[in-house]
Structure 1
């Protein structure tokens, strides 16, 4: 995203965490989903952890901080998008 206008949707995005086992480590990513267009997503890798439990704690903490919004938590209908790990 090159301009400020292109990234404004992130202010209203729903934030979810994603944990995957990659090369012996548990990798945490945040998934930002546009509430107006659920096919518009951004996945940002946050870090990796030695155990799944540490990854879950880190993901929960990062997700809560990223989703802070004075209007409340933004939600997207789960049937509006489909993640494929392939």
Structure 2
């Protein structure tokens, strides 16, 4: 198990965002010390891709750069990879 600081692997574009942008590849089962506590990355996240940093309920918007760019189709937990379906 790897434990790593959030700022060394990701960027939060705006303080109100609920997803972050990976600044490097993040391996499966990495534990992140995030802005709101520790969470695990359950899937490999590639550089430039996004992952959840705050709980998101189904139907809620996903925010990056303070802009909504999608809607959660199910409840999402911190660490989950964000993708289109």
Q: TM-score range by the shorter chain?
A: under 0.3
Going by fraction, where is strand more abundant, 1 or 2? 2
**Normalising by structure 2, what TM-score?**
0.27
Q: Which has the larger radius of gyration?
A: 1
Going by fraction, where is helix more abundant, 1 or 2? 1
**Normalising by structure 1, what TM-score?**
0.27
